[in-house]
Amino acid sequence: MATDLEKSRDGDPLCAQRMDSMDRMTQDGPRFSPVIALLAVSAMWEEQLASILKDLGISTRKFGLLGHIYAEPGISFSELARRSHITVQSAHTAVRTLVDDGLVQDATAHAGAASDLHVTAKGARVLQDARERLFELDDVLAQRLPKVADSLDGIRAGIV
């Protein structure tokens, strides 16, 4: 007599495929996932970056936003959001804190006007300090995980 599981496996090809996959996972043990490994390693290094930026008063997200605004003065909130992979509303909120902290100036900060974002002198100093700390962390990564650093450099250069 067939069990309910066997009946569903026989009657539904997708279910059978999933069940076969689960059977293999159980027999072979969990398969290594490069994506999961990359996420875990990424989280560890992001935590270290956040730690070295903390006393500068910026987060990793604010560091990225500050860098985009510095590289392209007058950048729109829409473009800033697109480059940062966040919503326009989140970009507005984050930039507001950068303005409040004296790191960014919005010369046309009123409703309906296009933004005119610029990094202030204080923001430029914070950005430079943050970049120097990032370069030091990059060196640590290259020393601890040279193959990973080389692979990432290859991706950046378009080689990999």
| 119 backbone dihedrals φ, ψ, rounded to 5° | -80, 135
Within this chain, do residues 22 and 84 fall inside the same structural domain, yes or no? no
Tens digit of each residue's pLDDT (9 = 90 or more) over 98-141: 999 999 999 876 555 567 899 999 999 999 999 999 999 999 99
Within this chain, do residues 63 and 116 fall inside the same structural domain, yes or no? yes
Closest CA to 95 of 104, 87, 86, 83: 104
Identify the CATH number of the domain in which residue 40 sits: 1.10.10.10
- Say if residue 22's pLDDT is above 70: no
Residue 137's domain spans which residues? 32-157
Within this chain, do residues 122 and 101 fall inside the same structural domain, yes or no? yes
pTM of the model: 0.73
Within this chain, do residues 25 and 38 fall inside the same structural domain, yes or no? no
| 104 backbone dihedrals φ, ψ, rounded to 5° | -135, 150
The total number of structural domains in the chain stands at: 2
DSSP 73-123: TT--HHHHHHHHTS-HHHHHHHHHHHHHTTSEEETT-STTSPP-EEE-HHH
The reported pLDDT for the residue numbered 151 is: 87
Within this chain, do residues 93 and 145 fall inside the same structural domain, yes or no? yes
**33-42, 117-126, 137-146, 151-160: which has the minimum mean pLDDT?**
151-160
Reported as a pLDDT band with limits 50, 70 and 90, residue 5 is very low
